[in-house]
């Protein structure tokens, strides 16, 4: 399973980069998805922390329950791939300009 995650974390940003070069609309879709995922990721995080502070429970044991939320994991995974895609795109732009 770890090998699959590593391979996908390499292949997905590269495929995003290629599709963004081929189709300009993909760039907009990737940006909009990233903004949406950032909101989802942030809201779920804030609500989990608020619940822990409100209930005055032990932070380190209860916060791990957030990792059972598939929406949190999915949005975080997309943000990770999007971040790598963005870094690749910026790097290639810099290399082209020199």
Residues 50-62: tens digit of each pLDDT: 988 888 887 677 7
- pLDDT tens digits, residue range 58-92? 767 778 888 889 999 999 999 999 999 999 999 99
Distance CA 62, CA 6 (A): 28
- Classify 56 as helix, strand or coil: coil
Q: In sequence order, which residues have a C-beta less than 8 Å from that of residue 41 and are 6 or more positions away?
A: 72, 75, 76, 79
pLDDT at 85: 97
């Amino acid at each position: 399973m770890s090998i699959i995650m590593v391979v996908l974390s390499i292949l997905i940003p590269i495929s995003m980069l290629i599709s963004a070069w081929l189709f300009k609309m993909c760039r907009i879709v990737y940006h909009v998805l990233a903004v949406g995922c950032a909101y989802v990721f942030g809201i779920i995080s804030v609500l989990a922390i608020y619940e822990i502070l409100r209930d005055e429970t032990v932070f380190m044991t209860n916060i791990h329950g957030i990792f059972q939320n598939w929406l949190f994991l999915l949005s975080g995974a997309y943000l990770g791939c999007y971040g790598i895609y963005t870094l690749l795109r910026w790097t290639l732009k810099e290399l082209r300009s020199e």
